[in-house]
Each structure stands twice: as structure tokens, then as C-alpha cells.
Structure 1
Amino acid sequence: MHLNALKLHNFRNYEQQSFEFDPGVNLICGENGQGKTNLLEAAAALSTMRLFRTAQKKEGLRFETDDASIEGSFCAQQRDFTLEMRLFRAKPMEVYKNGVRQKRQSDAAGIFKTVLFCPDDLLLVRQGAAARRRFLDTALCQLRPNYARCLEEYGRLHEHKTRILRDSEEHPSLLSLWEDFSLRMAKFGAHIIRYRAYYIRKLLDSAAAVHAGIAPQETLSGEYKTVSDVSDPFAPVPQIEQELIRHVFRHKQAEIAAKSCLSGPHKDDLLLSLGGRSAASYGSQGQVRTCTLSLKLAERELFFGEDGEYPVLLLDDVLSELDKKRQDFVLNRISGGQVLITCCEDGILDKLHAGRVFPIENGKII
């Protein structure tokens, strides 16, 4: 899989710019604040249908413009595709595949696959559970289109149910809808939990092997934490659904009192350990970074195992945050697929054998 070309119109600080990429290593260089990360964000958006730096797609629009677009042409499974995202300030985003508008954004997720690694990801182990759920969801939405649809519907139901609970004090009649929304959330939540359980098992097996290559003296392991009443996250979906229903009905009054959805896959977490001890609580800065490196590189390997081709690897100035040992570890494991890497340090440039170099200044190739 590789990205052939990318066209940006009014996206972030790009007014109008086209890129044609090498199927190997592509280096995006320049000073900070010139648009290097914006370019990687556009490429990542074509795989996830969202912007990794904001939940509001309209924030991707260039200042004082009302619309923007990201258009990419790429090759996957020896077939050529085009994807286009049209962003608007006053209406929902539109997505086109091979020129045909898609009914749902999730219908286009995962056709083009990427693995993004940015400096914020180095804090993944120590950040809150939401960051680790986002890490899992980003991969799963690309690997399993049905997961993306379940997650989209669950999120919509969760948002509506939360509003019902928040407004129920002033409008008690809204609580008549609580049961229907709870049942529907349990239905989609059961699918989400089962997908996550299987993915996490594969991810941890692969990450442990990667981790052993850089820190053989420590063992990386982890645990999937979900709703306490779910006895087996690998069980058939109907069983998980019934356990979720029993759990939420037992906590109905607590939800009404708290005015929020207290449990469900929207509260899931991935607990990581090094040598049997919590990586978040006891890991040093170096250990935490090695743990995150292992997870990201394992994610890339799982994509390859699924499709027989590597996803496009997006490295956003992450090497400058690593010591020489970890820099070399990453660089030695990224062969065999396309890489887009941003950088502004000369020392790192010398280690790369880029097929194409894109000097960026103020949203333009110079």
C-alpha cells in the first residue's frame, strides 16, 4: 500500500498544494510551524475520516475560508483508489470514494491504512484511558469496517442518552427513553468489546515480541479492562449483550443521580505492565517510551499480517524525541513499506535514505 499523491485545498495553512510521493521513504522537512504536521494529518485523515489533533473537522479549514478538501490517490491490494474529504464550516463533511459520494463516513474508513506516530503518543502509557481507547479505535476502524460502524452508532447513542440524563431533572418525561437507549447501547457495545478483546490479544503478543528486541530484560504485558459484569470479552456477542444489559439496569438509579452514562465500552482501558508492574505507575521515562514504541510498531505488523502489505507509516517528528538507541531501533524496523516522516534536525537526516524530500515553508513546497 502506498500513497501516490495528495492534493490539499484550504486545509490548515495550505491554500493549494499538491504532493507526489515516493513508494519508499519521503522526508518532509522545515522549521516548526510551517505545515509539516498538517501534511501528515491530512494523510492520516484519509484513513480514519477524522483529524487527529481536533474533534472538530471545521478546525481544519484555513483561516477565513468556508470549505476545504483533502484528496488522495493511492494503491492498495494492487488496485488504484481515490478518496476525497470535503470539509465545510457550516455543514457536515462529505466523503467521496473514486468520485462517488459515500452515505456514511465509516463506509470509507480503512480503505487507505496508516499508522501514525507523533510525540504525544510517547505519553500514551501515562495518559488517561481515553487516549488508549483512541489508539485502539484508530487501528480497529481501519482493520474492521463493521467496528467503525458500531463505534459510530454507539457514540451517537451515548451522546443522546447523556443529554437525556442531563435534562431529566427539568424534563422527567425524558427518562421514558432511558431503557430503549440502554438496550441499543448494549447491542452495539457488545460488538465493540468483542472486537477489542481479540485485537488487544494479538496486539500484546506482537508488542511483547517487539519489546524483547530492545529491552530483553523486561517483559511487556497487558490487560483489557471493560465492564465488570462482562465475564468473558471473547464470548459470543449475545452473551456479552445480556451481561451489559444486566449491569446497566442494576445501575439505573445511579446513572440518573449522576446524570451520566456510568459504564460501558466508552470507559474501557488497556492496562500495561512491565515485569508484572504497572508501566504507568512505575515505568521510567525510557521504559514508557520503549513500551509505546513497541505498541506502535506492533500495530504496523498486525496490519501487515492482516493484508499482506504494510500501512503507510506516518512519523511526525518523533525521532527527535528519542535517544540514539531508540532512534536506531525504529529506523531498523520501518523497511518494506512507505514512510512519510517529518523532521527538522540535521543529525537525523543523515540516517535516512529518502526517495523524495519536501522542504516546506508556510504551507508551500520550496
Structure 2
Amino acid sequence: MHINTLELHNFRNYEQESFVFDPSVNLICGENGQGKTNLLEAVAACSTMQLFRTAQKKEGLRFGTDSSRILAEFNAQNRDFQLELRLFRTKSMEIFKNGVRQKRQSDAAGVLKTVLFCPDDLLLIRQGASARRRFLDTALCQLRPNYARFLEEYSRTHEHKTRILRDAEQKPALLDLWEDFSLRMAKLGAQIIRYRAYYIKKLLAAAALVQSDIAPHEALTGAYKTVSTVTDPFAPAAQIEQELISHVFSHKTAEIAGKSCLSGPHKDDLLLDLNGRSAAAFGSQGQVRTCTLSLKLAERELFFDEDGEYPVLLLDDVLSELDRRRQDFVLNRIGDGQVLITCCEDEAAEKLHAGGIFPIQNGKKY
């Protein structure tokens, strides 16, 4: 899997620019604030249909413009694809796959698969649960189109139910809808939990192997934490659904009082331990970074196991955040597949033996 060409029109600080990438390693270099990360964000958007630095797609528009376009041509599973994303200031994003407009974002997510590693990810272990859910969801939405659809509808239903709870004090009649939305969230949530459980099981097994290579004396283990009434996240969806219904109905009074949805997979977490102790609470800075490296590289291996080809790996200025030993480990692990790396150091090109080099200045190649 690799991207052949990428065209940007009024995206972030790019007015009009095009790139032809090497199928191996591509180095995107330049000073800070010139648009290196913007380029990776455009590539990542073509796989996830999201901008990884903001939830507001209109923020991807170049200043003073009302629309933006990202056009990628790539090869996946020995087939050529063209994917076009059109972003607007005043309406929803439009997506075209091979020239055909897609009805839903989930219809295009995961055709191009990417794994992104950026400096913020080094804080993944110590960040809140929402960051780890986002990490899981980004991979699963690419691997499992049905999961993306379930998650998309669950998010909308959760948003509507939250609005009902917040407005119920002024409009008590809205609470008549509480049960319908709760039941729908339970049905969708059961599917989400099963997908997450199976993925986390594979992820942790792969991450433990990577961790043993980086730090042989540090055993990485973990657990999936979901709604307390779910006795087995691998159980049939119908069983999980009933357990979710039981939990949410027992918390109805608390939800109304708190004006928020207290129950469901939107509260899930991925717990990680090193040698039996919480990595977040007891791990050193180096240990936490090693855990994150293990998770990200394991994610890449799971994509390969699924498709028989590596996803496009996006490394956003992450090497400078790692010590030399961890830098070498990452570089030794990316011998196959296409890689796009951003950096500020001029000597990186020689160290990485890059196939393509793209100096960037103020949103332009030079």
C-alpha cells in the first residue's frame, strides 16, 4: 500500500501544491511552522476522514477561503484508487472515491490505511481515557468498516441524548425520549464493545512482543475496561446489550440529575501495566515512551496481518523526541512499506536513506 500523488488546494497553509511520493521512505523537512505536519494531516485525513489536530474540519481551510480540496491517488491491494475530500466552511465535508460521491464517511474510511505517530502520542499512556479510545477507534475504523458505521451512529445518538438531558429541565417532555435513545445506545454499544475487545486482545499480544524486544526486562500487559455490568466483552452482542440496558436503567435518576450520559462504551479505557504495575502511575518517562512505541508498532503489524501489506506510516517529528536507542529501534522496524517522516534536522536525510526528500517552506516545496 502506498500513496502515489497528493494534491492540496487551500488546505491549511497550502494554496496549491502537489507531491509525488516514493513508495519507500519520504522525508519532509523544514523549519517549524512551514507546513510539514499539515501535509501529514492531509494524508491521514484520506484514511480516517478526520483531521487529527481538530474535530472541526473547517479549521483545515486556508485562511480567508471558503473551501478546500485534498486529492490522493494510491495503490492498495494491487488496485489503484483516487480519493478526494472537499472541505467547506458552511457545510459538511464531501467525499469522492474514484469519482463517485460517498453517502457516508464510513464508506471511504480505511480504503487507504495509515498509522500516525506524533509527539502527542508519547503522552498516550498518561493522558485521559478519551485519548486511548481515540487511538483504538482510529485503527478499528480503518480495519472494520462496520465498526466505523456503528461508532458514527453511536456518537450521533449519544450527542442527541446528551442534549435531551441538558434541556430536560426547561422542557421536561423531552425525557419521554430517554428510553428510546438509551435502548439504541445499548444496541450499538454492544457491537462497539465486541469489536474493541477482540482488537485489544490482538493488540496487547503484539505490543508485548515488541516491548520485549525494546526492553526485555519489562513485561507489558493490559486490560480492556468497559461498563461494569458487562461480564464478558466477547459474549454475543445480544447478551452485552441486555447488560448495558440493565446498567443504564439503574442509572436513570443519576443521568437526569447529572445531565449527562453516565453509561456506555464512550467511557471505555485501555489499562496498561508494566511488570504488573500501572504504567501511567508508576512508569518513568522512558518507560511510558517505550510502551507507546510498542502500541504504535504493534498497530502497524496488525494492519499487515489483516491485509498482507503495511499501512502508510506517518512519523510527525517524533524521532527528535526519542533517545538514540529508541530512534534506532523505530528505524529498524520500518524497513517495509511506505513511510512519511517530518523533521527539522538536515542530517536526517542521510541517516534515513530517504527515497524522496521534500523541503517545505511556507506551504510550498522548494
- Give the TM-score taking structure 1 as reference length: 0.99
Q: CA deviation at 1:350?
A: 2.9
The correspondence of residues 16-165 of structure 1 with structure 2, limited to 5 A, is 16-165=16-165
Q: CA deviation at 1:29?
A: 0.3
Tell me which amino acid in the other structure corresponds to 1:218: E
1:264: which partner in 2?
264
The correspondence of residues 202-221 of structure 1 with structure 2, limited to 5 A, is 202-221=202-221
Q: In 1, are the aligned partners of 2:190 and 2:237 still within 8 Å (CA)?
A: yes
Q: Distance in 2 between matches of 1:138 and 1:178?
A: 29
Q: CA deviation at 1:347?
A: 4.4
Would you say 1:187 and 2:177 are equivalent positions? no
Q: Distance in 2 between matches of 1:219 and 1:166?
A: 44
Tell me which amino acid in the other structure corresponds to 2:32: N
Q: In 2, are the aligned partners of 1:343 and 1:349 still within 8 Å (CA)?
A: no
- What residue ranges of structure 1 are gaps of 5+ in the alignment? none
Q: In 1, are the aligned partners of 2:220 and 2:291 still within 8 Å (CA)?
A: yes
Q: Deviations over 1:90-109 (max 9, x none)?
A: 01000000000000111100
Q: Distance in 1 between matches of 2:334 and 2:38?
A: 22
Q: CA deviation at 1:242?
A: 0.6
2:167: which partner in 1?
167
Tell me which amino acid in the other structure corresponds to 1:137: D
Q: In 2, are the aligned partners of 1:212 and 1:219 still within 8 Å (CA)?
A: yes
Q: Deviations over 1:282-328 (max 9, x none)?
A: 00000000000000000000000000000000000000000000000
2:345: which partner in 1?
345
Q: Deviations over 1:132-187 (max 9, x none)?
A: 00000000000000000000000000000000000000100000000000000001
- What residue ranges of structure 2 are gaps of 5+ in the alignment? none
Tell me which amino acid in the other structure corresponds to 2:106: S
Tell me which amino acid in the other structure corresponds to 2:251: H
Q: Distance in 1 between matches of 2:96 and 2:346?
A: 39
Q: Distance in 1 between matches of 2:346 and 2:297?
A: 24
Q: In 2, are the aligned partners of 1:319 and 1:348 still within 8 Å (CA)?
A: no
Q: In 1, are the aligned partners of 2:117 and 2:318 still within 8 Å (CA)?
A: yes
2:293: which partner in 1?
293
Q: CA deviation at 1:201?
A: 0.3
Q: Deviations over 1:179-223 (max 9, x none)?
A: 000000001000000000000000000000000001000100001
Q: In 1, are the aligned partners of 2:349 and 2:357 still within 8 Å (CA)?
A: no
Tell me which amino acid in the other structure corresponds to 2:85: M
Q: CA deviation at 1:349?
A: 3.2
Q: In 1, are the aligned partners of 2:3 and 2:21 still within 8 Å (CA)?
A: yes
C-alpha root-mean-square deviation of aligned residues, in Å? 0.5
